[in-house]
Amino acid sequence: MAGKKKIKKTKKQKKIVDEYQLRRDLREYTKMTESADLAQETAVLPQDQAQYSEDIRIGGIEGGGTHSTLVIIDGKGTQLMEIKGPNTNHWAIGIDETVARLSAMIEKGKQALDIPESVPLDCVGLSLSGCEEETTNRQLVETLLQKYPNSAKDYMISSDTLGSLRTGLQSGGIVLIAGTGSNAMLLNSDGKIHGCGGWGHMIGDEGSAYWIAHRACKYVFDDIDGFAEAPEPISYVWPAMRSYFNVIDRNSILPYLYANFDKSIIAGFAKEIAIGCEKDDPLCLKIFEEAGRFLAKHVIALSKKAHNDLKLAHGGLKVICVGSVWKSWKFMKNGFVNEIRDRRVVDELSLLHLTTTSAFGACYLAAEKINYPFVKPYDSNIEIFFHYK
């Protein structure tokens, strides 16, 4: 009998670990140590700043599929100028044309600062759309250095996702792009990078403007065919399609989808779906809710690979949200939150907007490439627009 009682008591002592509660407890401990760390960092700043040189010139280019932005800073991290440029996606225009455009932007920036044509910038960070592949990245840099040796002494090249992330977060986090296409990337504090999505319109782009437009068109085509009834009436979307594409029937839309395909033109129809949401059209609201769920899936997938220091930080896991689709957050919110809640993988997160161009993140990466540190105003580069806990 005594032995049985002892076994019974031992069983009662076994506990199931509540991961959510464990994170909450650790988060409280983290808050206590943050103040001491901040005070220590602040104390050494003046000494470090004495090493900065105003003669240093570092550039950063945020390159997209429609336009690009160049920022040039000095050795203290102060912005000296900013200019706009054209599309610099090498998959769309080729490597030779891409490097020509990048060099032209840099030379224009140098002229604005009265830097002689023969004097290159110390380093330029390139955070460009389509730069996820190491071989082509290396080819871009080698071509720049060979053809335009006076533009910059060196380059640091990365994807546009990394540039966006490094503009607002120092230790790591997630960047989630939802513009014409979609893409997500996690940077852990040890420098390891993990991606989700970014595979283009043929096999990915979920939650993007292109996906939203395609989803709307698909609902209309299937509903009219009788193949599959749309989840809500197409009474707004179908007339909006005819108006946007300037057609009278579905056959007339086919050239836009095939012979004369332009991803950005298709994606532009997403604006009409957003207008439909403003008018409380049920199908438009349904599509944006679905987009919210798919964007949340990116966060859920990457959060499984995120280190605990990112999850336990004040405000939880940080997600920088980039792209025009986020302007319609109020229509995606329910779908996004419901997906996060239903999957029970993330217990706290903060969604952030950048308050400045991600060309600054490219500058920061370039400064690190040449081992030139300076204080980066991460907090002023971001703002929180949603917190989930």
Domains and CATH numbers, the chain: 58-170+355-377 (3.30.420.40)
Of 50-59, 77-86, 230-239, give the range with the top mean pLDDT. 230-239
pLDDT band at residue 76 under the 50/70/90 scheme: confident
- Is a pLDDT exceeding 50 seen at residue 49? no
Between β-strands 79-86 and 173-178, what pairing exists: parallel, antiparallel or unpaired? unpaired
pLDDT band at residue 5 under the 50/70/90 scheme: very low
Res 25: pLDDT = 55
Q: Which of 43-47, 102-106, 186-190 has the lowest mean pLDDT?
A: 43-47
Buried b (16+ CB within 10 A) or exposed e, 337-366: eebbeeeeebbbbbbbbbebbbbbbbbbbb
User: pTM to 2 decimals?
Assistant: 0.79
Mean pLDDT computed over every residue of the chain: 87
- Is a pLDDT exceeding 80 seen at residue 12? no
Average pLDDT over residues 263-283: 96
Is the Cβ–Cβ distance between 270 and 210 less than 8 Å?
yes
pLDDT band at residue 225 under the 50/70/90 scheme: very high
Per-residue CA distances from 90 to 55, 63, 128 (Å): 32, 10, 9
Res 187: pLDDT = 93
Res 132: pLDDT = 79
Give 20's contacts (C-beta < 8 A, 6+ positions apart): 347
**CB count in 10 Å sphere of residue 144:** 24
- Is a pLDDT exceeding 50 seen at residue 201? yes
Angle at 38 between CA 34 and CA 39, to 5 degrees: 120
Average pLDDT over residues 369-389: 90
Three-state SS at 173? strand
Buried b (16+ CB within 10 A) or exposed e, 266-298: bbbbbbbbbebbeeebebbbbbbbbbbbbbbbb
- Is a pLDDT exceeding 70 seen at residue 150? yes
Give 335's contacts (C-beta < 8 A, 6+ positions apart): 288, 289, 290, 291, 292, 293, 296
Higher pLDDT: 187 or 18? It is: 187
Residue 111 exposure: Cα atoms within 13 Å on the Cβ side: 7
Res 264: pLDDT = 87
- Is a pLDDT exceeding 90 seen at residue 39? no
pLDDT band at residue 64 under the 50/70/90 scheme: confident
- Is a pLDDT exceeding 70 seen at residue 99? yes
d(CA 226, CA 8): 63
Res 244: pLDDT = 97
Res 268: pLDDT = 95
Q: What is the percent of the chain with per-residue pLDDT over 90, rounded to a whole number?
A: 66
8-state DSSP, 121: B
Res 180: pLDDT = 87
Q: Which of 43-47, 81-85, 298-302, 380-384 has the lowest mean pLDDT?
A: 43-47
Per-residue CA distances from 111 to 81, 120, 235, 333 (Å): 11, 12, 54, 45
